[in-house]
A = this chain, B = another copy of it.
Amino acid sequence: MKSVNASVDEKRLWDDLMALASFGAREDGGVCRHALSREDIASREWLIGKARERGYRIAADSAANLFLTRFGCDNDLPPVLAGSHMDSQPAGGKFDGAYGVLAAFEALRALDDAGLETARPVTAVAWTNEEGGRFHIPCTGSRAFVSGKVPEPDQTDEEGVTLADALKRTLDAAPDVERIAPGFPVHAYVEPHIEQGPVLEAEGLPIGVVTGIQGVRWFNVTVTGEPGHAGTVPHAIRRDAFQATLRAVSALSTLMEDPDDVVRFTVGHVSVVPNSPNTIPSSVRFSIDFRHPERGVLDARAARIADLIAREVRPCTAEVAMTTSMQPVVFPDQITGAIAKAADTEGLKHRALASGAFHDAAHIASVCPSGMIFIPCRGGLSHHPDEWATPEHCAAGARVLAGALAQLAA
């Protein structure tokens, strides 16, 4: 009989990745699979079908997090979890999130195929709405798992659909799936993911053992001015919400300047009302994404944002709301050690590195020992249709995961 690691099937995993990418496929080769969308629901059905073939326990909680469990010898023991998310950015790629879920599913099958019995159950998980693209609260699913309730169920997408309704629709589409309460005890959590940065590729390493995740603050800003006719209203009396936004974002960019280029500051979402060429904008809503590995830097600069915006938008007014605050996370040696050991066993070179992006693991880390496995991605590119990882690297990550899960669940 083959070892667990050797039972990882590179072609099977790759075929699954390509199959999952067909749900919400974009013409440019990318993927647009918003959380709880028709495409997301169809991709869940596809994965549930594969889990059913294997005889796994299939369950979902009120946040529509999907749990596929391979039974252990003692199913009263808290399981070892592995996985990621299946939703994508609007112009996303085939690997961000999807790889983690399918690598975990492949690890379960490798445990089967190797005939390995584990003491603990091992569960592949797909967390809901990690990207926050449709409902602007990222990691909805892993947050719900940690807190025991869905955050902001009344929030709406651009079409006015509430999160609660979208969750109901998704759960109703899979009536045969067992319903469980969110937030059960977990022994350990491992999340495989593409690096979304350039380090592993540049150093020619197949595996990154992730030491932690930088912290993040998200803000929604609404600037309110006064509409008017573009041809008649004198500039002296205008309250143009877009010009005010321009001043505010310009000042924020100065606040966020960093000679070491460690601060990450992005205004990614901007919507202008009424958005007509010959009407002075009456309001603008924009997002702020601000990240840094040190809590002190995050707190100090975040504290200055609201006052700075209020000053810059005059004579307009602004409302500034912090929607997300995640402290930097450090993963424990128990998990990083298991991952490093699994990679060593496989003869795969690896290095320690921190995550620039945040992940569901940042939330789950608050309820159990957690960690992440990175594989290289081409050009460090992600959140992009051209996002790419090789079949070899995908399989290597799944082998390291399978080895780590075998240790943690033994």
A residues near B (Cβ < 8 Å) are: 89-91, 131-133, 136, 138, 195-197, 214, 216, 218, 227-236, 240, 242-243, 246, 249-250, 253, 258, 261, 263-282, 287, 289, 291, 355-358, 380-384
Name the contact of A278 in the complex, choosing from B214, B249, B266, B274 (C-beta under 8 A): B266
Q: Are A275 and B232 in contact (CB under 8 A)?
A: no
Q: Which residues of chain B have C-beta atoms less than 8 A from A249's C-beta?
A: 242-243, 246
Q: Are B268 and A280 in contact (CB under 8 A)?
A: yes
Name the contact of A276 in the complex, choosing from B131, B216, B230, B281 (C-beta under 8 A): B131
12 A-B residue contacts at CB 8 Å?
A91-B274, A216-B231, A218-B277, A227-B383, A228-B382, A228-B383, A228-B384, A229-B356, A230-B289, A232-B264, A246-B249, A268-B275
Integer count of this chain's copies in the complex: 2
Q: Are A246 and B242 in contact (CB under 8 A)?
A: no
Bound state CA distance, A383 and B253, in angstroms? 33
Q: Assess A277 versus B231: contact at CB under 8 Å? Given A272-B270, A282-B91.
A: no
Bound state CA distance, A95 and B261, in angstroms? 53
Name the contact of A232 in the complex, choosing from B267, B277, B380 (C-beta under 8 A): B380
Q: Assess A274 versus B89: contact at CB under 8 Å? Given A246-B250, A268-B230, A384-B227.
A: yes
Bound state CA distance, A230 and B197, in angstroms? 11
Q: Are A272 and B269 in contact (CB under 8 A)?
A: yes
Q: Are A232 and B196 in contact (CB under 8 A)?
A: yes
Q: Are B230 and A291 in contact (CB under 8 A)?
A: yes
Q: Assess A289 versus B278: contact at CB under 8 Å? Given A356-B232, A382-B228.
A: yes
Q: Are A380 and B196 in contact (CB under 8 A)?
A: no
Q: Are B277 and A287 in contact (CB under 8 A)?
A: yes
Q: Which residues of chain B have C-beta atoms less than 8 A from A265's C-beta?
A: 235
Most chain B CB inside 10 Å of its own CB: which residue of A232, A263, A271, A357: A232
Q: Which residues of chain B have C-beta atoms less than 8 A from A232's C-beta?
A: 195-197, 264, 356-357, 380, 382
Of chain B, the residue at the smallest CB distance from A291 is: B231
Q: Which residues of chain B have C-beta atoms less than 8 A from A132's C-beta?
A: 276-278
How near does chain B come to A308, taking the closest CB pair, in angstroms? 15
Q: Are A270 and B268 in contact (CB under 8 A)?
A: no
Bound state CA distance, A255 and B357, in angstroms? 39
